[in-house]
Amino acid sequence: MPRRTMIEAIRDAMDVSMGRDDKVVVFGEDVGFFGGVFRCTQGLQAKYGKSRCFDAPINESGIVGSAIGMAAYGLKPCVEIQFADYMYPAYDQLTQEAARLRYRSNGDFTCPIVVRMPTGGGIFGGQTHSQSPEALFTHVSGLKTVVPSNPHDAKGLLIAAIEDPDPVIFLEPKRLYNGPFDGHHDRPVTPWSKHELGEVADGHYTVPLGKAAIRRPGSAVTVLAYGTMVYVAQAAVAETGIDAEIIDLRTLLPLDLDAIVASVKKTGRCVIVHEATLTSGFGAELSALVQENCFYHLEAPVARVAGWDTPYPHAQEWDYFPGPARVGRALLETMGA
Amino acid sequence: MADAGMLRFHVPEPEVRPGGTPDFSNVPIPKAGSVPRPDIDVDPRTIRDYAFSIIRVLNRNGEAVGPWAGLLSSGELLAGLRHMMTLRTFDARMQMAQRQGKTSFYMQHLGEEAVACAFRKALAPGDMNFPTYRQAGLLIADGYPMVTMMNQIYSNEADPLKGRQLPIMYSSKEHGFFSISGNLATQYIQAVGWAMASAISNDSKIAAAWIGDGSTAESDFHSALVFASTYKAPVVLNVVNNQWAISTFQGIARGGSGTFAARGLGFGIPSLRVDGNDYLAVHAVAKWAAERARSNLGPTLVEYVTYRAGAHSSSDDPSAYRPKTESDAWPLGDPIVRLKNHLIQLGVWSDERHAQAEAEILDTVIAAQKEAESHGTLHAGGKPSTRDMFEGLYAEMPPHLRRQRQQAGV
Q: Under an 8 A CB cutoff, do B395 and A52 touch?
A: no
| Closest Cα in chain B, distance from residue A321 (Å) | 31
Distance of CA B161 to the CA centre of its chain: 21
Q: Which residues of B touch A70 (CB under 8 A)?
A: 193-194, 196-197, 200
> Which amino acid does the sequence have at A235?
A
Residue A315 has a pLDDT of 98
Catalytic status, residue A314: no
Q: CA angle at residue B127 from B123 to B133, to 5 degrees? A: 85
Q: How far apart are CA B183 and CA A90, in angstroms?
A: 13
Q: Across-strand partners of A118?
A: A172
| Closest Cα in chain B, distance from residue A327 (Å) | 29
Q: Which residues of B touch A69 (CB under 8 A)?
A: 130, 189-197, 207
With CA atoms as reference, the chain B residue closest to A76 would be B197
Q: Which is nearest to A196 in space by CA: A15, A2, A7?
A: A2
Q: Which is nearest to B78 in space by CA: B354, B320, B385, B271?
A: B354
Residue B399 has a pLDDT of 97
Q: Under an 8 A CB cutoff, do B392 and A108 touch?
A: no
3-state helix/strand/coil string of chain A: CCECCHHHHHHHHHHHHHHHCCCEEEEECCCCCCCCCCCCCCCHHHHHCCCCEEECCCCHHHHHHHHHHHHHHCCEEEEECCCHHHCHHHHHHHHHHHCCHHHHCCCCCCCCCEEEEEECCCCCCHHHCCCCCHHHHHCCCCCEEECCCCHHHHHHHHHHHHHCCCCEEEEEEHHHCCCCCCCCCCCCCCCHHHCHHHECCCCCCCCCCCCCEEEECCCCEEEEECCCHHHHHHHHHHHHCCCEEEEECCEEECCCHHHHHHHHHHHCCEEEEEEEECCCCHHHHHHHHHHHHHHHHCCCCCEEEEECCCCCCCCCHHHHCCCHHHHHHHHHHHCCC
User: What value of ipTM does the predicted structure carry?
Assistant: 0.97
Q: How far apart are CA A259 and CA A261, in angstroms?
A: 6
Give whole-number Cα distances, B110 to B154, B277, B289, B310, in Å. Answer: 21, 11, 25, 5
Element at B238 (helix H, strand E) = strand B235-241
Q: How far apart are CA A239 and CA B79, in angstroms?
A: 80
**What contacts B41, CB < 8 A, 6 or more positions away?**
B292, B295, B297
**Among B164, B172, B194, whose Cβ lies nearest the Cβ of A70?**
B194
Contact A134, A250 (CB under 8 A): no
With CA atoms as reference, the chain A residue closest to B226 would be A57
Q: Across-strand partners of B212?
A: B240
**What contacts A299, CB < 8 A, 6 or more positions away?**
A268, A269
Share of chain A above pLDDT 70, in %: 100
Q: How far apart are CA B303 and CA B335, in angstroms?
A: 16
Which burial class, exposed, middle or buried, applies to B268 when counting CB atoms under 10 A from its CB (0-12, 13-18, 19+)?
middle
Q: How far apart are CA B410 and CA B338, in angstroms?
A: 54
Q: Which residues of B touch A109 (CB under 8 A)?
A: 171, 173, 178-179
Q: Which residues of A touch B193 (CB under 8 A)?
A: 65-70, 72-73
Give whole-number Cα distances, A219 to A222, A329, A330, in Å. Answer: 8, 18, 16
**What contacts A279, CB < 8 A, 6 or more positions away?**
A309
Q: How far apart are CA B86 and CA B95, in angstroms?
A: 14
Give residue-wise pLDDT tens across range B352-383: 999 999 999 999 999 999 999 999 999 999 99
**Among A73, A93, A166, whose Cβ lies nearest the Cβ of B198?**
A73
Q: Under an 8 A CB cutoff, do A257 and B227 touch?
A: no
Report the b/e string of B127-157 with b at 16+ CB within 10 A: bbbbbbbbbbbbbbbbebebbbbbbbbbbbb
DSSP designation for B261: G
Distance of CA B318 to the CA centre of its chain: 19
Q: Under an 8 A CB cutoff, do B200 and A253 touch?
A: no
Q: Under an 8 A CB cutoff, do B171 and A68 touch?
A: no
Distance of CA B250 to the CA centre of its chain: 16
Residue B4 has a pLDDT of 83
Q: How far apart are CA B153 and CA B105, in angstroms?
A: 8
Share of chain A above pLDDT 90, in %: 99
Q: How far apart are CA A124 and CA A174, in angstroms?
A: 12
pTM metric for this prediction: 0.98
Contact A104, B179 (CB under 8 A): yes
CA atoms within 13 A on the CB side of A32: 14
Distance of CA A139 to the CA centre of its chain: 15
Contact A42, A35 (CB under 8 A): yes
The mean pLDDT value for A156-168 works out to 98
**What contacts A25, CB < 8 A, 6 or more positions away?**
A18, A51, A52, A53, A54, A70, A75, A76, A77, A78, B197, B200
Q: Under an 8 A CB cutoff, do B194 and A69 touch?
A: yes
| Closest Cα in chain A, distance from residue B344 (Å) | 42
| Closest Cα in chain B, distance from residue A89 (Å) | 9
Q: How far apart are CA B308 and CA B109, in angstroms?
A: 7
With CA atoms as reference, the chain B residue closest to A106 would be B161
Q: Which residues of B touch A252 (CB under 8 A)?
A: none
Distance of CA B12 to the CA centre of its chain: 25
pLDDT at position A337 over 90: no
B208: helix, strand or coil: strand
> Which amino acid does the sequence have at A31?
V
The pLDDT profile of chain B, 410 residues, written as one tens digit per residue, is 667 899 999 999 998 999 999 989 888 999 999 999 999 999 999 999 999 999 999 999 999 999 999 999 999 999 999 999 999 999 999 999 999 999 999 999 999 999 999 999 999 999 999 999 999 999 999 999 999 999 999 999 999 999 999 999 999 999 999 999 999 999 999 999 999 999 999 999 999 999 999 999 999 999 999 999 999 999 999 999 999 999 999 999 998 778 999 999 999 999 999 999 999 999 999 999 999 999 999 999 999 999 999 999 999 999 999 999 999 999 999 999 999 999 999 999 999 999 999 999 999 999 999 999 999 999 999 999 999 999 999 999 999 999 999 999 99
Selected for mutation to probe chain B from A21, A64, A70, A78 (highest B CB count within 10 Å) is: A70
Q: Which residues of B touch A255 (CB under 8 A)?
A: 399-400
Distance of CA B23 to the CA centre of its chain: 25
**Phi, psi of A118, deg, nearest 5:** -65, 135
Give residue-wise pLDDT tens across range A57-115: 999 999 999 999 999 999 999 999 999 999 999 999 999 999 999 999 999 999 999 99
